[in-house]
Structure 1
Amino acid sequence: MITLSVAVSTYTYEEAYEESLNYFGGDELAARVWVNKYAMKDSYGNIYEKSPEHMHWRIANELARMEKKYPNPLSAEELFKLLDKFKYIVPQGSPMTGIGNNHQVASLSNCFVIGVEGAGDSYGGIIKMDEEQVQLMKRRGGVGHDLSHIRPKGSPVKNSALTSTGIVPFMERYSNSTREVAQDGRRGALMLSVSIKHPDSESFIDAKMTQGKITGANVSVKLDDEFMTAVTNNQSYTQTYPIDSENPTTVKEIDASQLWGKIVHNAWKSAEPGVLFWDTIIKESVPDCYADLGYKTVSTNPCGEIPLCPYDSCRLLAINLYSYVNNPFTPQASFDFELFKDHVGKAQRIMDDIIDLELEKIEAIIKKIENDPESEEVKRTEYLLWKKIYTKTGQGRRTGVGITAEGDMLAGMNLRYGTEEATDFSELVHKTVALAAYNASADLAKDRGAFDVYDAKREENNPFINRLKEADPALYEKMVKYGRRNIACLTIAPTGTTSLMTQTTSGIEPVFLPVYKRRRKVNPNDVNVRIDFVDETGDAFEEYTVFHHKFVTWMEANGYDPSKRYSQEEIDELVAKSPYYKATSNDVDWLMKVKMQGRIQKWVDHSISVTINLPNDVDEALVNKLYIEAWKAGCKGCTVYRDGSRSGVLIATESNKEKDKDKSTQGEQASSSVLTNPEVVKRPKVLEAEVVRFQNNKEKWVAFVGLYEDRPYEIFTGLQDDDEGILLPKSVVSGNIIKNVDENGNNRYDFQFVNKRGYKTTIEGLSEKFNKVYWNYAKLISGVLRWGMPIDQVVKLVGSLQLDNENINNWKNGVERALKRYVQNGTRATGTKCPNCQNETLIYQEGCLICTTCGSSRCG
């Protein structure tokens, strides 16, 4: 047993990386992800753990400390065995980062929803929501909130504006706040929603179709059954404001099919809005049995898998399904349901322990706020926010037990994803999760007490509870007798970077590589037996991907010799025999996938985060069919992504006279973003400039980026060194780069900014302030920028530079990070694969690379 309650040893990045590399069996990506995102650190970047083993002992010791408060406690050793190697139980990002880390003041919750009590349609209410959103994001939380309380555009207001601007300007406000908040190398995450009943819902649906607007938020529209029925029956629909009022001030009759067509078109074109089938969510919601006590669901978290009431939150955990497959890929493959049920129960128990740990974290946050030097007036909103979250967390004790590796589990069981047989098995697994988790919560209630407002009478007519009652009458009787420890228990969330460390797929999404057409070669001399495949365009995939490893595992399990040279026909036959055949995003029957989601949803009390990935050439009719089927199948929400759709829409503006251009041409435009006639652009004497600050390996860096037509034209970057004269106040984020020429014809570049008092301040000889070698490389990169190379290609070029020492490589990384923020949102990172799912479906979003297949993100 390793005790890490008081961590005093620190490790260099290299020490932690090498130890983690050994832990992950040489997987460099997994090692870097763990060190960068999950190793225990303080606010100065000092690392206190050198491998995931230390982390798992840290978590196990803290969980054991909570266990000792209650009867029949689990030991740290038992808990460690469940966590070790990410084999069985995997706490998600915030719990993994924060449990036992006393060096930072942060929450363990992944998801929050905020809202207003009573009327919130005022600038006071809107600004309060804005501050609450920021305060949560800075503690590492994703936030969701609903805008249905804001009066529609044109409504009278009792201020000098006379009429309301409607919802859209406030969407921009909240989006911009998200973009401002940093979360240890990633930005905040936001979900904005609105009811279809709101008269401004059409403007909401259209808002993200404008280039550069609302880039810091996901948007989803809440659809009620009345609207969906009107759509399917081609009827009219009535919108009102307030949306639930019996005496609305605004009433608007609309053509439901017309508005539905816009939802489908925008989703087809830009992957948003997502849709939330709100009546299904509310009808199935167990917490909404307590709506009058403050548990009325109003919105979801950014990924949509946790519908929440205001000021409630949820922590997430995933169970690795593949680890319960015995003899995977063989005719003897079986699923160990007994071990699985035992571990699901322990996962629910662990989640309840994490609630107690979260309450401690919230107490620490409140204590910090009390001790902060600001006035009580300044601190009031943040203080009251966390007080409300503390109450909701302790009163309802909501948890988020989920799964990962469903696709791998099915393959290991020799079941092909998307078939009826595979769907039947998945439903059985999720039914087992639901029954085991709720049994565990009832047992916890017996030992630890039920959640504060539990009332069996309130839940009598809830469809989810009655489903459990029918499947396991003894469980229901146990709940009636002892209550339940947790108001709700289950979800399926995207597992993101944690799946890199488990080396599994994410959620219920099949993330195998796309389109394998033929075998290219098998190298019998390679220890790893790397197999190259080419896709349908003839481009070779990188060697030894996750798929190759699994395919080789399948070959060995079925008696094939991976070192043998197989003929083209033989390899085609092998691929066709494997459970991975026809299991890619493009191969899966999308309607079957929606039906599978609906069947699984019946055993998940929260929701399921899943995106239906479609090829570029599908038409809008298919999106329409998928959304309708999702509603009929009982899904609580649905999102589609058509390959390349974002790059096409994000370059469109009102001034674009060529809206009907071929989609592929639009995509090229999004990727290019070049200067007009770059060969004739002469550098002006004065260029507007932005200041970009960041940390790289504990060092403070600064970049001055000169802009021409809002596009990077030149860059100066290096270490921020006060001794060398870079005395730049933290408040300075922009200025001018001025080119001066001395009497000898030598160029000098100065940076000029306006200080807080309004006086101009000049840093002379900007190019002389940094390392000479860096400056020479910067001149080369600036030359490439001036001649109009697309920014994403400049980023790729800089990233590919092979430099000869660590310092200059750190500088190169700084340049790359500074330039990424200027890549247009939606630009596809061509030729680059997602390190998680290996699909070539990465797009740039706010300087980060986002995978549109599995949802993982990488910043910096």
Structure 2
Amino acid sequence: MESSTIAEKRKEISYEEANRYTLEYFKGDDLATRVWVNKYALKDSQGKIYERTPDDMHWRIASEIARVEAKYPDALSKQQIFDLIKNFQYIIPQGSPMTGIGNDFQIASLSNCFVIGNGTQSDSYGSIMKIDEEQVQLMKRRGGVGHDLSHIRPKGSAVKNSALTSTGLVPFMERYSNSTREVAQDGRRGALMLSVSINHPDAEDFIDAKLEQGKITGANISVRIDDAFMEAVRQDKEYTQKYPVFSSNPKFSKTIKARELWNKIVHNAWKSAEPGILFWDTIQKESVPDCYADLGFETVSTNPCGEIPLCPYDSCRLLAINLYSYVKNPFTPEAEFDFELFKEHVGYAQRMMDDIIDLETEKIQTILEKIDSDPEGDSIKSTERTLWEKIQAKTLEGRRTGVGITAEGDMLAALNLKYGSEEAVKFSTLVHKTLALAAYRSSVEMAKQRGAFPVYDATKEMSNPFIQRLRQSDPALYEEMVQHGRRNIALLTIAPTGSTSLMSQTTSGIEPVFLPVYKRRRKVNPNDKDVRVDFVDEVGDSWEEYIVFHHHFKTWMKVNGIDTDKNYSQDEINELIEKSPYHQATSNDVDWLSKVKMQGAIQKWVDHSISVTINVPHDATEKLVDELYLKAWEVGCKGVTVYRDGSRSGVLVSTQEKKAASEQTVEMAPSFPTKRPQILQADVVRFQNNKEKWIAFVGLIDGRPYEIFTGLADDEEGIMIPRWVNEGVIIKNRDEDGTSRYDFQFKNLRGYKTTIEGLSHKFNPEFWNYAKLISGTLRHGMPLESVVELINRMELNLESINNWKAGVARALKRYIPDGTQVSGQKCTNCGSGEVMYQEGCLTCKSCGSSKCG
């Protein structure tokens, strides 16, 4: 039965009530609970919640999809749709569809990703600024954006303005990155992908652009690499870069040693995990939409995570199918995959994705109406209106979908297959082949009932390798497609499923399990009952230690009659793992070359692309990264990213690069201005201490904390701002008596500026005085991890000040890069000296023990 709260759809639910009922829904999984309540529960602009559990969300989504289904023959009912999506068991709309379907509190798109571009390849300031504006307009509607920079003329080229010569790519990379950081998306930052062709003469500058800490922090970057360059690398030959790229009559060209530039890509990826690589000839050759390049469907860039290559002004919506749920008798000798149910559900998933396209066109129409009703003049609104009109037209012309999967790692383990083994790769490839055929069959059936996408032309697709694989595998399906067309120009992807996997309680995407068992600590408050104290930290806080089992490792334990409530020792945990199908199948165990081969095999049955990161240990060599990238190209991957454990924290700038290695020095912190700028970008950080609500305003320079103001948020003399405000600016002004005043300014829902005067006067004076001292250490460049340690060691008497101190440390930990090592500190669980920050928590690399707070 439909839940009672839908009947009372607009009844406000307290955060505590939503948290309590959702915790029960997820059977005590507090992480899944926080993700759903904070990110996906229906909320208004004041942060009021209107859904008690994910059941309410799933009824909301089912109701809207059923409304669209009713327009077409053989409509699915609301109950049928709900049964497919409930409990995150089978079909899971991802991100924007989950948030936006049936949500009349937000005027936002249902698309997860967009690509924008310049059809004329102009690089005038006007066209560059137009792309910047379009990027921001899309991000404010929740979408991630990608665009390519290959059309911008190289550094030093002649221009007919006062500059006389072009500045090249990098300044515009910074512009687009900064624009991304300025746009808030309900607690998220916008996501951006910047790409450039390796054929561009400024490609090396692009590749180096993110090496300096704090630069281009609002974008992912990837290099579009062609086969000719890869052959030149393999054969150690020269390669000619051109502008315009690949021009037969270039205005500028230069010849380089391909291997030298390749080595720089490998080195930078080893050092900082960027740039990623896009194998562009493979993308365009395999892309079904590129068969319609003459009609505007030529792929020009990808979305921020690389799984959806797109043409200009196209977009895509994402949905994941939970592979684990199709394993019958999991973790037993009788385990088998239910291919028949899987094929049936893939057909429904493709159908629901097509319904979501109709819902998206309604959302775009609402956006257009909002633009028309805004008070600005038409000259201001014209770019935004034209942008959404182009997106709406391209959406209806191609009806592109993004059906994907999650829980590949759990599926294989449940079938007693070792992730990365030849047997597992073979089985995974069969699953994805089955998915592709079932999805395309569904799209052909919809074409019979609803009509084909408007530009379908079988003759244009005849030579496409992906279509040819479908034809060879199912000739009857191909003949029906030629006769009737299909509903959607491209159908499939494998996207990151971080939040999705947390709520489905499975492994993410096609990734293996990260850790099957690890230990965490929970802070013990003085009034807590029935808890034990396993650890007291340096400031006197008590912690209870508990074991966290990966959900389906726990399923394996139950199937095998193993006690899941026992407090196991580390040796006992190791013994359990060795007996399980997760043994030597974690992200750190899997042979990396095998994982690349697996990606290439699966890619043959995915018409878009796959977002996957190859995780390698900290001591991995550049030679290994080189081998992984080359193997990825050879096996047919469309793109690849390698992340070396802890590499992000190693992005430091050598101040004397030409000195011998023994003489080099590095800049351990940014060189902040000695005089405070009048205006600083700022983040708003909210947190609780002992059930009290606190708030921090963190002034930033290049994304690094420069100052902090913090105190109680619900005090009569504290600061109350809407929950949706996550960023703004801090402006230094003066009162009439000449004393300094720090104002916080943010944009309200209508885009107008709202100012709260006097942060320094709003909070408790004692908090403010301590904050000035801490801000002083930040401004003088002390490493953040050292600032946090300094704060934790402050010996203060009043409990309220100690609460404040803990809050400041917690706020600043958010900015410590993942992988930052903590020198001189040992793990209190296993004694290892390999302790680092991960998502604001101190985490032991050896045993996985994590200390938060």
User: TM-score, normalized by length of structure 1?
Assistant: 0.83
Query: Any conservation in 2 of the 1:691–1:703 contact (CA below 8 Å)?
Result: no
Q: Counterpart amino acid of 1:65?
A: R
**Structure 1 residues 824 and 338, CA, compared in 2 at 3 Å: closer, same or farther?**
closer
**Whole-angstrom CA distance in 2 between matches of 1:625 and 1:571:** 34
2:119 to 95, 105, 117: 117
**Whole-angstrom CA distance in 2 between matches of 1:544 and 1:611:** 27
Aligned to 1:612: 614
**Whole-angstrom CA distance in 2 between matches of 1:690 and 1:388:** 36
1:544 to 544, 547, 550: 547
Q: Indicate the SS of the match to 1:403.
A: strand
Q: Counterpart amino acid of 2:684?
A: F
1:793 is displaced (CA, Å) by 5.6
1:114 is displaced (CA, Å) by 0.2
Aligned to 2:830: none
Query: Any conservation in 1 of the 2:682–2:729 contact (CA below 8 Å)?
Result: no
**Structure 1 residues 343 and 625, CA, compared in 2 at 3 Å: closer, same or farther?**
same
The CA deviation string for residues 182-230 of structure 1, in whole angstroms up to 9 with x for no partner, is 1110111100001111111111111111222111111100111111111
1:733 to 730, 734, 752: 730
1:612 is displaced (CA, Å) by 0.4
Aligned to 1:520: none
The CA deviation string for residues 434-489 of structure 1, in whole angstroms up to 9 with x for no partner, is 01100011111111111010111111101001101111111111111111000000
Query: Any conservation in 1 of the 2:706–2:778 contact (CA below 8 Å)?
Result: yes
Q: Counterpart amino acid of 1:345?
A: G
The CA deviation string for residues 219-271 of structure 1, in whole angstroms up to 9 with x for no partner, is 10011111111111111111111114221111211111111111111111111
Is structure 2 residue 653 aligned with structure 1 residue 652? yes
The CA deviation string for residues 362-388 of structure 1, in whole angstroms up to 9 with x for no partner, is 000011001000110111111100000
Query: Any conservation in 1 of the 2:214–2:704 contact (CA below 8 Å)?
Result: no
Q: Which region of structure 1 is more displaced relative to structure 2, 115-124 or 797-806?
A: 797-806
1:773-812 equivalences under 5 Å are 774=767, 778=771, 790-792=783-785, 794=787
Query: Any conservation in 1 of the 2:513–2:582 contact (CA below 8 Å)?
Result: no
Query: Any conservation in 2 of the 1:616–1:643 contact (CA below 8 Å)?
Result: yes
Query: Any conservation in 1 of the 2:698–2:705 contact (CA below 8 Å)?
Result: no
Query: Any conservation in 1 of the 2:819–2:836 contact (CA below 8 Å)?
Result: no
Q: Indicate the SS of the match to 2:353.
A: helix
Q: Indicate the SS of the match to 2:498.
A: coil
**Whole-angstrom CA distance in 2 between matches of 1:749 and 1:821:** 31
Aligned to 1:537: none
Q: Indicate the SS of the match to 2:210.
A: helix
Query: Any conservation in 2 of the 1:692–1:818 contact (CA below 8 Å)?
Result: no
2:472 to 463, 470, 473: 470
Query: Any conservation in 1 of the 2:199–2:240 contact (CA below 8 Å)?
Result: yes
Query: Any conservation in 1 of the 2:684–2:696 contact (CA below 8 Å)?
Result: yes
**Structure 1 residues 691 and 816, CA, compared in 2 at 3 Å: closer, same or farther?**
farther
Aligned to 1:366: 368
**Structure 1 residues 73 and 796, CA, compared in 2 at 3 Å: closer, same or farther?**
farther
**Whole-angstrom CA distance in 2 between matches of 1:282 and 1:719:** 53
Aligned to 2:741: 751
Query: Any conservation in 1 of the 2:244–2:251 contact (CA below 8 Å)?
Result: yes
**Count of residue correspondences:** 800
The CA deviation string for residues 363-419 of structure 1, in whole angstroms up to 9 with x for no partner, is 000110010001101111111000000000111000000000000000000001010
**Whole-angstrom CA distance in 2 between matches of 1:325 and 1:116:** 46
1:709 is displaced (CA, Å) by 15
**Structure 1 residues 790 and 9, CA, compared in 2 at 3 Å: closer, same or farther?**
same
1:656 is displaced (CA, Å) by 7.2
1:763-774 equivalences under 5 Å are 768-771=761-764, 774=767
**Whole-angstrom CA distance in 2 between matches of 1:358 and 1:765:** 43
1:674 is displaced (CA, Å) by 10
Query: Any conservation in 1 of the 2:462–2:468 contact (CA below 8 Å)?
Result: yes
1:255-404 equivalences under 5 Å are 255-404=257-406
Q: Indicate the SS of the match to 1:513.
A: coil
Is structure 2 residue 700 aligned with structure 1 residue 703? no
1:194 to 176, 193, 196: 196
Q: Counterpart amino acid of 1:553?
A: T
1:61 is displaced (CA, Å) by 0.3
**Whole-angstrom CA distance in 1 between matches of 2:716 and 2:59:** 41
Q: Indicate the SS of the match to 1:545.
A: strand
Q: Counterpart amino acid of 2:741?
A: F
**Whole-angstrom CA distance in 1 between matches of 2:73 and 2:703:** 67
Query: Any conservation in 2 of the 1:703–1:718 contact (CA below 8 Å)?
Result: no
1:620-635 equivalences under 5 Å are 620-635=622-637
Is structure 2 residue 82 aligned with structure 1 residue 80? yes
**Whole-angstrom CA distance in 2 between matches of 1:849 and 1:657:** 36
1:50 to 20, 36, 52: 52
Q: Which region of structure 1 is more displaced relative to structure 2, 782-791 or 599-608?
A: 782-791
**Structure 1 residues 189 and 726, CA, compared in 2 at 3 Å: closer, same or farther?**
closer
Q: Which region of structure 1 is more displaced relative to structure 2, 63-72 or 258-267?
A: 258-267
**Structure 1 residues 780 and 263, CA, compared in 2 at 3 Å: closer, same or farther?**
closer
Alignment root-mean-square deviation, CA: 4.5
**Whole-angstrom CA distance in 2 between matches of 1:389 and 1:169:** 28
Q: Indicate the SS of the match to 1:733.
A: strand
Aligned to 2:451: 449
Query: Any conservation in 1 of the 2:648–2:817 contact (CA below 8 Å)?
Result: no
**Whole-angstrom CA distance in 2 between matches of 1:165 and 1:674:** 24
**Structure 1 residues 776 and 184, CA, compared in 2 at 3 Å: closer, same or farther?**
same
The CA deviation string for residues 797-843 of structure 1, in whole angstroms up to 9 with x for no partner, is 8799999999999978974676467646874699999xxxxx99865
**Structure 1 residues 121 and 50, CA, compared in 2 at 3 Å: closer, same or farther?**
same
Q: Counterpart amino acid of 2:357?
A: I
**Whole-angstrom CA distance in 1 between matches of 2:397 and 2:116:** 17
**Whole-angstrom CA distance in 1 between matches of 2:292 and 2:780:** 62
Q: Which region of structure 1 is more displaced relative to structure 2, 46-55 or 801-810?
A: 801-810
**Whole-angstrom CA distance in 1 between matches of 2:793 and 2:338:** 46
**Whole-angstrom CA distance in 1 between matches of 2:843 and 2:369:** 36
Query: Any conservation in 1 of the 2:144–2:304 contact (CA below 8 Å)?
Result: yes
Q: Counterpart amino acid of 1:769?
A: K
Query: Any conservation in 2 of the 1:674–1:790 contact (CA below 8 Å)?
Result: no
**Unaligned segments of structure 1, at least 5 residues:** 518-526, 533-539, 677-683, 741-747, 756-761, 834-838, 853-858
Q: Counterpart amino acid of 1:454?
A: Y
Q: Which region of structure 1 is more displaced relative to structure 2, 603-612 or 245-254?
A: 245-254
Aligned to 1:10: 12
1:28 is displaced (CA, Å) by 1.4
1:254 to 239, 256, 260: 256
Aligned to 1:694: 684
Q: Which region of structure 1 is more displaced relative to structure 2, 313-322 or 506-515?
A: 506-515
1:59-70 equivalences under 5 Å are 59-70=61-72
1:435 to 434, 437, 453: 437
Aligned to 2:233: 231
**Structure 1 residues 437 and 800, CA, compared in 2 at 3 Å: closer, same or farther?**
farther
Q: Indicate the SS of the match to 2:365.
A: helix
**Structure 1 residues 4 and 470, CA, compared in 2 at 3 Å: closer, same or farther?**
same
Aligned to 2:644: 642
**Whole-angstrom CA distance in 2 between matches of 1:653 and 1:242:** 33
**Whole-angstrom CA distance in 2 between matches of 1:450 and 1:349:** 13
Q: Counterpart amino acid of 1:751?
A: R
**Structure 1 residues 569 and 710, CA, compared in 2 at 3 Å: closer, same or farther?**
closer
**Structure 1 residues 688 and 386, CA, compared in 2 at 3 Å: closer, same or farther?**
closer
The CA deviation string for residues 538-593 of structure 1, in whole angstroms up to 9 with x for no partner, is xx99633243x533432332355567899998865543232111112221111111
Aligned to 1:105: 107
The CA deviation string for residues 743-765 of structure 1, in whole angstroms up to 9 with x for no partner, is xxxxx97426899xxxxxx9999
Q: Counterpart amino acid of 1:410?
A: L
Aligned to 2:214: 212
